[in-house]
Structure 1
Amino acid sequence: MPVLPSDYNPKFIFKNGHLSTVYSGLFRRINDLEQQRERLELEDGDFMDLDWSYSKTKSEKVIILLHGLEGNAQRPYITGSAQVFNTNGVDACAVNFRGCSGETNRLFRSYHSGATEDLDAVVQHILTKRKYSEIYIKGVSLGGNMALKYAGERKILPPEIKAVIGVSVPCNLHSSLKELLSAKNYLYAKRFKKHLVSKLCSKVELFPNKISKKDVLAIKTLKDFDDIYTSRAHGFKNAIDYYEQCSCRPFLPHIKIPSLIINAKNDSFLGEECYPYTEAEENPQLYFKVPNFGGHVGFVAPLNLYYSEKSAIKFVQDMV
């Protein structure tokens, strides 16, 4: 599909990408969403926690929500999405990736941008235990990359999966990493690294034969983290190998179900290679919106109903 036009035009203050990003991450609040937690035991002995919220009427439709780097199922971009879909008659399963639900996961490995085996475990659990007839998947940032990679890497998807949405998606992980390491994103990168290293310290105590305090002290950048931990824990040669294998962009031409990507032009986390114009033009199932504004997951709109959330529910209603 050709790139879709966008009419997103926020108030002047939120036309600044950094302000919309920071406001949405630190100050947005979602009220009156009740979530019920379910623990999903994984075949490798680990677990993920799923936070469910429901439509007021019995629904045969569910959306799986995937958070971003060092996020969780209580982040406003997840709870806001859940609330919108619940209001429109769709149940929501908000996934906490391994180690992201407030409790350290059991294994040395954790989560990463391309861990589609964990997404598939959620899908299979829902198909087996919940019996929904329609499943949608929406991922934000890292979760968006995972969702789109999942849709494109499998020759056959369960027929119940009807649509995929990705918001602020780092379609090329190395390109995004280079942007995060630039001066304009210093504070964001510092915050991400702080949270990642803090979690990694617990791994040192639990798995001293696999990682040491010396290793942790050697982490100066996000790329160092991926070289020292992410690649080692998840079977990649190094950070670059991880980025190359797990970026969703090479999988976009193979997507065979309606899929929507929303990436703002002023998203400071995304490099040029994160904007898959060619793939969208050549794949009739891939829809691409590039609003001028929105920063990184910062599509502020009136009534606390974000442009990305309105676009997601409309896409599902129109396509399915």
Structure 2
Amino acid sequence: MADGSGDVLLGALNRGTGDKPLAVLVHGLTGCQDSYYVLATAKALQGRGHPVLRLNLRGAGPSAGSCRQRYHAGRTQDIRAVLSQLPPDLAGQGLVLVGYSLGGNAVLKFLGEGDFPVPVRAGCAVSAPIDLASSSRRFLAPDNRAYHKWLLGKMKAEMQAGAGLLEDRWVRAAATAQSVWQFDDTIVGPWNGWGGAEQYYRVNSAIGFLLGIAVPTLLVHALDDPWIPGDPYLSFPWHAHPNLVPLLPTRGGHVGFHGRGGVWHDRALLAFLDNVGA
């Protein structure tokens, strides 16, 4: 990375078989290049001829041992920096960006900001928490207690994996965090220059950037997602923004959509790309 941190982001590249645009896949919170949903989409896109870059965000997965900083839901400058370093032969047909959950929020924010170092032909977000504050509150619901404990444990383990490179104060704060909100309030917010969780959520929620998206973008979100509320999707004026294509089924869970013939959101993505010629 060119920010003086010395951090190195890693990814896995799957070569394509045709002249399709490069697909860059951005995982969710505590995910990585080998998350099951990333691998499933990569397989589907490769079958269509796309080269696929499965990117690890800063400090995630294989990147944990080479980074002194950590990703968050709005760290779009890292995506921009990676894309700017792609070799011309790989990005010559443009890009398709796909993000899942937290990575979906980051992809949507990036698309809304514009300033692409290489041409972006289409985007897709699956189960993205476009209102970060409402999602953080949903984690605290009594029926999400088991998932919240599991997710917070993975967040702490992710911090511990880079303990030799990270400042001790952040590692200690992670070890004592009692909730995702507290993790964001005492680590993510102040580490990145915000006053706490609420400012971090307000500045980085994708819903504030959707109006700026100028490329065809598919947003897939199940209204029965137990962790990401559907209300922000239902209240958005989609009809006034033809570049945005919402798919809001009543069922599907969180980055789920499992069914006969493969994962439904991957089949929807392929149909969408066919429709927009990407």
Fold in common (TM above 0.5): yes
* Distance 1:260-1:277 versus aligned 2 partners, 3 A rule: farther
Deviations 1:45-97 (A, max 9, x none): 10111111123x24342100010000011111101101111000111001111
Please tell me whether the aligned partners of residues 249 and 276 of structure 1 are also in contact (alpha carbons under 8 angstroms): no
* Distance 1:206-1:72 versus aligned 2 partners, 3 A rule: closer
Unaligned runs of 5+ in 1: 1-40
Higher relative contact order (CA 8 A, sep 6+): 1
> What displacement does 1:205 show?
5.0
* Distance 1:249-1:87 versus aligned 2 partners, 3 A rule: same
Matching residue within 119, 135, 144 for 1:185: 144
Q: Which structure has the greater CA radius of gyration?
A: 1
TM-score between the two structures when normalised by the length of structure 1: 0.80
Please tell me whether the aligned partners of residues 171 and 276 of structure 1 are also in contact (alpha carbons under 8 angstroms): no
Please tell me whether the aligned partners of residues 301 and 307 of structure 1 are also in contact (alpha carbons under 8 angstroms): yes
- 1:48 — aligned with what? 9
Unaligned runs of 5+ in 2: none
* Distance 1:42-1:314 versus aligned 2 partners, 3 A rule: farther
- 1:196 — aligned with what? 155
Deviations 1:168-220 (A, max 9, x none): 1111000111111111111111111111112334555544564463x345311
* Distance 1:42-1:232 versus aligned 2 partners, 3 A rule: same
Please tell me whether the aligned partners of residues 73 and 79 of structure 1 are also in contact (alpha carbons under 8 angstroms): yes
Q: 1:311 is matched by which residue type in structure 2?
A: A
**C-alpha separation between the residues in 2 aligned to 1:307 and 1:202?**
33
Please tell me whether the aligned partners of residues 13 and 51 of structure 2 are also in contact (alpha carbons under 8 angstroms): yes
Matching residue within 71, 74, 83 for 2:34: 74
Please tell me whether the aligned partners of residues 7 and 69 of structure 2 are also in contact (alpha carbons under 8 angstroms): no
Aligned residues with identical type, % of pairs: 25
Matched, 1:290 2:251: no
**C-alpha separation between the residues in 1 aligned to 2:19 and 2:275?**
18
SS of the equivalent of 1:162 reads strand
- 1:279 — aligned with what? 237
Q: Across the two proteins, how many residue pairs are aligned to each other? A: 276
**C-alpha separation between the residues in 2 aligned to 1:211 and 1:127?**
35
Matched, 1:160 2:160: no
- CA-atom RMSD in angstroms: 2.0
5 Å-filtered alignment, 1:7-18, equals none
Q: 1:196 is matched by which residue type in structure 2?
A: M
**C-alpha separation between the residues in 2 aligned to 1:262 and 1:58?**
27
